[in-house]
Structure 1
């Protein structure tokens, strides 16, 4: 196949899964990172080529120049696949420029950022009749009175720009239980020059979180989709999937597909919903507009989103498909799931018996694969080195 696949960010298992999903079909995969340190995804036997680029934030112009120089040397335009939100932000900023060199599913500059920014996304969803958690802007009049009457405590202080917030605070949000904690969270965010919103917590345990994973073609029509149910997250309650199962929930298609099509989205996207434990209503929480944490699960149940992306952009689209049954298969990121289990048990949210029962399901692992062991070995060495370093500091 003449078109290479350039994968941005292989120091995490999303990049590893993307490399595997393309490599099994004989596609030339190019792992691009800003350092060789901890890039265990590039250790895969399916990785054809490794490239080190300037840092996407510290030297953005150098990074874009690197991408253009690399593509200009190829016989055919490569397919560009970001595997981290930070890469998506840069691609969106330089979309028109990069599309002259790369095959990229999205054609509207700014749409990635509009759907990643929680404030803008919630306005967009509300305009299209999709329920979102009750939200207040921090500059509203009588803010604290409105929190007391509308949002109520505990509530969430969430960033509009998640990647920037996470890089500063090493968490996705602040959960606050009273006015004093809310003021403190707002002051911290202001000091870090980060915009935030205040949001009601939708009732329900972590297993009330669901995902609608879909691919929209160049006509902005959903052609492939899968729905999943989260069981455990890390950090617990407001984190990323660490134990999630494929679960057929047709209502999520009925909500998600018309919304995505109406806003003209193209390419892969994942909508996270939460089902209200009291009313059964689904609320849109956020969109992930790059390959998801659950990619290996989606691939194992029959929908290979990186390959679907590659095939359509290179002019040979895959037949439409949806998983309309329960496969009982679950995704597990073992390293963080162990941390999550300890936290769930410590806080009394799950029992040891419930954990044992959940682990009876057939599993897809985030990193380990007997047919491609080098990334797993590299990951274990990386974790061991970090623990040793931490121990020596004591």
Structure 2
């Protein structure tokens, strides 16, 4: 195939799985990162070109120039695929310029950012009939009183812009149990110049978290989709998937497809829902507008999202497909799952026997692949370096 694929981000397993999903179909993959150190995805045998460019945040204009210079040298227009939230924000901010030189699913500048923003996302969801948790904005008059009366405790202090919050606090949100904690955490966010909202906690353990994963073509119609159920996440209760199963839930298609098509979305999206343990109602929690953490699970189940994206954009779309039979497959990010399991057991949320029994299932690994082992070796060295660094610091 003449069109190359430019993958933004190789220092996390999402980028790695994206590279592999394209490489297995002999797509020429140019993997881009801002440093060699830690970018274990660049070790994949499926990387045709490993490129080190300017940092997306420190020099975004430089990265635009770097990418456009690369694209101009190609005989066919490359496909551009961001694999991390900061890269999505970068692409969205420079969409007009980048679309002159790259094939990119989205055509409406600002839509990616609007969906990543919790405030505007909830407004969109409400307009399209999708339930969202009750929310209070911290700049509202008498916001503490409103939290006390309409949301109550414990509740969640969540960022409007997740990437900046995670970068600062190394977590996705704050859980607060009283008014004093609420004011403290809102104050911390304000000191960091990060906008937050206060949201009701939807009752239910981590296995009440579900995803609707879908690709929408250039007519903004869902062509490929499946659903998943989280079993464990890290950090526990409010983190990223570390042990998640493919699970067919038709109701999520009814909710998710209608919403994404209604807002004119194009490309891949993953909607996270939480099922209320008391009412059974699904609430939209957030949307990932880049390739999902669960990408290898989708691939093993029968949906190769990066390749579906690539084929759609070069004008050779694959046949529509939905995964509607449970395959007993699970996604496993071993490193963080072991950290999560320790916390689940310590807090009495799961028993050791329950965890032990859960492992006897076919797995889609986050990093390990016997046909492409070098990235896992590089990741192991990275971990070893972190451990040595911590021990040295303590001593």
TM-score normalized by the length of structure 1: 0.99
Greater Cα offset, 138-147 or 331-340: 138-147
1:333 corresponding residue in structure 2: 333
2:42 corresponding residue in structure 1: 42
1:383 corresponding residue in structure 2: 383
**1:99 aligned to 2:99?**
yes
Distance 2:338 2:105 in 1: 36
Distance 1:139 1:367 in 2: 42
Distance 1:142 1:65 in 2: 47
Distance 2:15 2:140 in 1: 40
**1:78 aligned to 2:78?**
yes
Residue deviations 1:271-321 (CA, integer Å, cap 9, x gap) = 000000000000000000000000000000000000000001001000000
1:204 corresponding residue in structure 2: 204
Specify every segment of 5 or more residues in structure 2 that has no aligned partner in the other structure, as ranges. none
Root mean square deviation, CA, Å? 0.5
Distance 2:272 2:225 in 1: 13
Specify every segment of 5 or more residues in structure 1 that has no aligned partner in the other structure, as ranges. none
Residue deviations 1:92-114 (CA, integer Å, cap 9, x gap) = 01101100000000000000001
Distance 2:134 2:357 in 1: 35
**1:178 aligned to 2:149?**
no
Residue deviations 1:195-253 (CA, integer Å, cap 9, x gap) = 10000000000000000000000000000001000000000000000000000000000
SS across alignment from 1:375: helix
Matches within 5 A, 1:110-129: 110-129=110-129
SS across alignment from 1:157: strand
2:251 corresponding residue in structure 1: 251
Using the TM superposition, give the Cα deviation of residue 148 of structure 1 relative to its aligned residue in structure 2, in angstroms.
Answer: 1.2
1:165 corresponding residue in structure 2: 165
1:230 corresponding residue in structure 2: 230
Matches within 5 A, 1:276-355: 276-355=276-355
Distance 1:27 1:140 in 2: 51
Greater Cα offset, 247-256 or 166-175: 166-175
* Segments of 4+ moved more than 2 angstroms: none
Using the TM superposition, give the Cα deviation of residue 145 of structure 1 relative to its aligned residue in structure 2, in angstroms.
Answer: 1.5
Using the TM superposition, give the Cα deviation of residue 140 of structure 1 relative to its aligned residue in structure 2, in angstroms.
Answer: 1.4
SS across alignment from 2:309: helix
SS across alignment from 2:212: strand
Distance 1:195 1:143 in 2: 14
Residue deviations 1:84-132 (CA, integer Å, cap 9, x gap) = 0000001001101100000000000000001000110001000111000
Distance 1:390 1:239 in 2: 23
SS across alignment from 1:220: coil
Greater Cα offset, 288-297 or 165-174: 165-174
Distance 2:340 2:104 in 1: 36
Matches within 5 A, 1:121-140: 121-140=121-140
Matches within 5 A, 1:13-52: 13-52=13-52
TM-score normalized by the length of structure 2: 0.99
SS across alignment from 2:306: helix
Using the TM superposition, give the Cα deviation of residue 170 of structure 1 relative to its aligned residue in structure 2, in angstroms.
Answer: 1.0
SS across alignment from 1:126: helix
